[in-house]
Amino acid sequence: MPVTVDRFQQACAAALRMKLLAGADGVGREIADQRVQKTGLGITGEVDSVHEGRIQILGETEITYFENQEPARRPAIADLFFSRPMACAVVGGGLGVPAELTAAAGRRAVPLYSSELPTSALIEETVKRLALLFSQTATIHGVLVEVLGVGVLLLGRSGIGKSECALDLIVRGHRFVADDVIHLEKRGPETLLGRGSDLTRHHMEIRGLGIINIRDLFGPPSITDLKKIELAIQIEEWDAMKEYDRLGIEDRRAVFLDVAIPSLLIPVSPARNLATIVEVAVRNHLLKGQGVFSAKDLLARQRTLSREAPPG
Strands 175-186, 192-195: pairing kind:
antiparallel
User: What is the C-alpha to C-alpha distance for residues 176 and 196, in angstroms, rounded to an integer?
Assistant: 10
3-state secondary structure 183-238: EEEECCCCCEEEECCCCCCCEEEECCCEEEEHHHHHCHHHECCCEEEEEEEEEEEC
Instruction: Pick the closest to residue 178 from 219, 145, 212 (CA basis).
Output: 145
Question: Residues 141, 157, 207, 242: which is the catalytic one?
Answer: 141
User: What is the C-alpha to C-alpha distance for residues 175 and 46, in angstroms, rounded to an integer?
Assistant: 57
Q: Is the Cβ–Cβ distance between 194 and 227 less than 8 Å?
A: yes
Q: Is the Cβ–Cβ distance between 153 and 231 less than 8 Å?
A: yes
User: What is the C-alpha to C-alpha distance for residues 289 and 92, in angstroms, rounded to an integer?
Assistant: 46
User: Is 216 in the active site?
Assistant: no
User: What is the C-alpha to C-alpha distance for residues 147 and 152, in angstroms, rounded to an integer?
Assistant: 7
User: Is 79 in the active site?
Assistant: no
Q: Is the Cβ–Cβ distance between 108 and 134 less than 8 Å?
A: no
User: Is 162 in the active site?
Assistant: yes
User: Is 203 in the active site?
Assistant: no
Question: Residues 180, 203, 227, 285: which is the catalytic one?
Answer: 180
Burial of 80 (0-12, 13-18, 19+ CB in 10 A): middle
What is the enclosing helix (H) or strand (E) of 108? helix 99-108
Question: Residues 162, 174, 175, 227: which is the catalytic one?
Answer: 162
State CA 151 to chain mean position distance: 14
Which residues, 6+ apart, have CB-to-CB distance to 270 below 8 Å? none
DSSP state of 2: -
Task: Enumerate the active-site residues.
Answer: 141, 162, 180, 246
